[in-house]
Amino acid sequence: MIGILIVAHGSLGESLIQCATHVMGERPPLLTPLNVIDCPDIMTMTAKAQQLIEELDQGDGVLMLSDIYGATPCNTACRLLYPGRVEGIAGVNLPMLIRALTYRHEPLDKLVIKALSGGHEGILHISPELCDAATGR
């Protein structure tokens, strides 16, 4: 099973995990957040992220999800990428996380594709027609 590390600002990572837990019915294993506010500088954050990656990697690799490309969480992830072993995606959202959790038994390269598609497909303009289709009105 692929481990998942959410590197994000504030408590976004833990909030996403709580939401995923609600949707899936239990807290998924090998899923942990790393919050920027818990680390005073990029070197401390990088060291903590490396430690968490080692804990999460049970042999199938780790997917790091960060919130904003170019910000500290993503820059931390960039320092720790190891293609085929530790991959990263910026722009985490709940549909992306749910998709990643659902397909984490796939190989890491396929999981990246599934997570990206979940993130993209989960972004919709809420229109009356879409609401009618969703609610059966």
Residue 110: C-alpha distances to residues 42, 47, 91, 100, 113 (Å): 30, 27, 18, 10, 5
Tokens of 90: 């910026």
Does the reported pTM lie above 0.85? yes
Contact 15, 21 (CB under 8 A): no
Structural domains counted in the chain: 1
Whole-number Å distance between alpha carbons of 103 and 132: 29
Strands (E), the chain: 3-8, 31-35, 62-66, 86-90
* Structure tokens that stand for 28 in this block: 């998924």
Ordered per-residue pLDDT tens for the chain, 137 residues? 999 999 999 999 999 999 999 999 999 999 999 998 878 888 999 999 999 999 999 999 999 999 999 999 999 999 999 999 999 999 999 999 999 999 999 999 999 999 999 999 999 998 888 788 777 77
Domain hosting 88: range is 3-135
Q: Residue 75 and residue 97: Cα distance in Å, rounded?
A: 20
Q: State the CATH number of the domain containing residue 127.
A: 3.40.50.510
